[in-house]
Amino acid sequence: MTFKKSILAAAIVGTMAGTAAHAGEVEVLHWWTSGGEAESIAVLKSMVEDSGHTWKDFAVAGGGGDQAMTVLRSRAVSGNPPASAQIKGPEIQEWASLGFAADLSGVAKASNWDAVLPKVVSDVMKYNGKYVSVPVNVHRVNWMWANPAAFAKAGAKVPTTMAEMWTAADKLKAAGITPIAHGGQPWQDATTFESIVLSVGGADFFKRAFVDLDQTALNSDTMKQSFDALRKVTGYIDAGSPGRDWNVATSMVIKGEAAMQFMGDWAKGEFTLAGQKPGKDFLCLPFPGTDGSFTFNIDSLVMFKQKDPANTAAQDKMAELVVSKKFQEVFNLKKGSIPARMDMDMTPFDSCALASMDTFKSTAKSGKGLVPSMAHGMSTTGSVSGAIGDVVTSFFNSDMSSADGVAKLAKAVKAAQ
C-alpha cells in the first residue's frame, strides 16, 4: 500500500520531531467533540494535568473518526505525529508495524494489565505480543435508543424484532412522529447496516461476512435480505437526514421528535448529559433481533514514540491512568460505555451499562454472539471497512437494487483486500 511506503520514511523523522515538544507534554488526537464525548475526554485531561503533565488537546470533529484519521495520516507523513492518538482495531497493528507505536510493556506489567483486561480487549491492544495501545472502554454498537413517550403517543409497541419494528414505524409515521432518527454520514449508514446484518444473519454470519470477508457470505441471499431491510429504513427517516451529525439525531429522540435511533452507546452520553434517565425518559434495547449478541467497539489510545524522555514519561503516566479503576469509572459513566477492565464495582452504573456488561461477559465466556464492529474499524482494515461503507452509503442514497448492492459489496471487498 502506497500510504505504508510514504509513511515508513517519515517514521524516522517523526521520532526526531518529538524533541520540539515541551517536557512532560502529551498531545492527544481524538474526535470526541459532541456534548457527552467532550465531557468524557475532559476527565482524562484533568487527570493528566493533576499528575503534573501538560495536556495539548487535538480534537478533530467528525463522529466515527474518519476525519481524525485523515489528519493523523497527514501529520505522520509530514514527520510530526501527535504523542497520542485514538486508533482502533487492526489499525493499531498497522501503525505499530510501521514503527510508530511506543512499547507500553513496562507500564502494562507494573499495572498488571494482563490480569485485569479480558483477552478480547488485550488481544486488540497488542502487537507481536506487546502492548502498544491502551483501552479506555468497551462500547456496544448494536443498540436501539427509544423514546417511550413517542411510542405511547403513537400507540406503538417498542420492537424487539425487525417485523415488530416495521409495524411500529408505520404507526409512528401515521402519528406524525419521525420513526427513525438518522444522520447522513457513511459511518452512520454502516452502523445501521451492520446491526441489520447481525439481526438477519446472526453472529456467525456476521463474522463470515465482516471478519473472514467470505465471498459466499457477502454474495448470499442473507446479505440481500439485509439490503432489503436497509432500504425499508430509508422510508422511515426524515428529509433532514443528509449531513446530520449522530448527536443531532440523538437529540431528536431526546426531544421526542423521533422515536428511535440505531447507534452505539456513546448515544447514552447525550441522554445522560440531557439529564434523562434510562427506563423512564429513554430506553436502551438491543437492536431488534440481536438480543444476546454484542457488537464490540473498543476505544483506545496509541502512544507515538517520543525522543524527549519527559514526554515518554507523560505518555506512560497517561497510559497508567487510563486503565486505573478511577478513570474507567468516571470516564465510562459519562461516555455511555462500560469499563474495559472486568474487576470493577458496577454499582454506580445504570441499567443500560449493567445489561451491556452482562451480555459482554456472557458472550465472551460462551464464545457465541460476540462480534467486532465493522462500522467502527474493529473487524477488518480501514481500507476494507471503508469500501464496505462506500457501497452501503451509495445504496442508502440511491435507488440501487438489493441484488446490485450485494454484487457491489462482494466486489468492493475483494478489491480492497
Q: Does 341 bind ligand GAL (CB under 6 A)?
A: no
d(CA 101, CA 92): 8
Choice from 207, 268, 376, 408 touching ligand GAL (CB under 6 A) = 376
Closest distance to ligand GAL from the beta carbon of 269 (Å): 8
d(CA 62, CA 184): 12
Query: Would you call 399 exposed, middle or buried from its count of C-beta atoms within 10 A (0-12, 13-18, 19+)?
Result: exposed
Closest distance to ligand GAL from the beta carbon of 381 (Å): 15
Q: Does 58 bind ligand GAL (CB under 6 A)?
A: no
Residue 257's CB is within 10 A of a number of other CB atoms, namely: 15
Closest distance to ligand GAL from the beta carbon of 61 (Å): 9
* CA neighbor of 333 nearest in space, from 347, 321, 323, 320: 347
Which phi and psi (to 5°) does residue 295 adopt?
-90, 110
**Does residue 109 sit in helix, strand or coil?**
helix
Q: Does 266 bind ligand GAL (CB under 6 A)?
A: yes
Amino acid at 74: S
Report yes or no: 46 and 340 within 8 Å, Cβ to Cβ.
Answer: no
Q: Does 64 bind ligand GAL (CB under 6 A)?
A: yes
Which phi and psi (to 5°) does residue 123 adopt?
-55, -40
Closest distance to ligand GAL from the beta carbon of 134 (Å): 14
Residue nearest to ligand GAL (CB): 63
Q: Considering only residues 184-223, where is the footprint of ligand GAL by CB under 6 A?
A: none
Report yes or no: 351 and 338 within 8 Å, Cβ to Cβ.
Answer: no
Closest distance to ligand GAL from the beta carbon of 297 (Å): 5
Q: Does 369 bind ligand GAL (CB under 6 A)?
A: no
Q: Does 334 bind ligand GAL (CB under 6 A)?
A: no
Which stretch in 58-66, 200-208, 250-258, 352-360 sits in contact with ligand GAL by CB under 6 A?
Answer: 58-66
**Does residue 126 sit in helix, strand or coil?**
strand
Q: Does 268 bind ligand GAL (CB under 6 A)?
A: no
DSSP class of 20: G
Q: Does 389 bind ligand GAL (CB under 6 A)?
A: no
d(CA 109, CA 70): 33
Q: Considering only residues 274-333, where is the footprint of ligand GAL by CB under 6 A?
A: 297, 299
CB of 94 or CB of 316, closer to ligand GAL: 94
Q: Does 151 bind ligand GAL (CB under 6 A)?
A: no
Q: Residues interacting with ligand GAL, by CB under 6 A?
A: 31-32, 37, 63-65, 139, 246, 266, 297, 299, 376
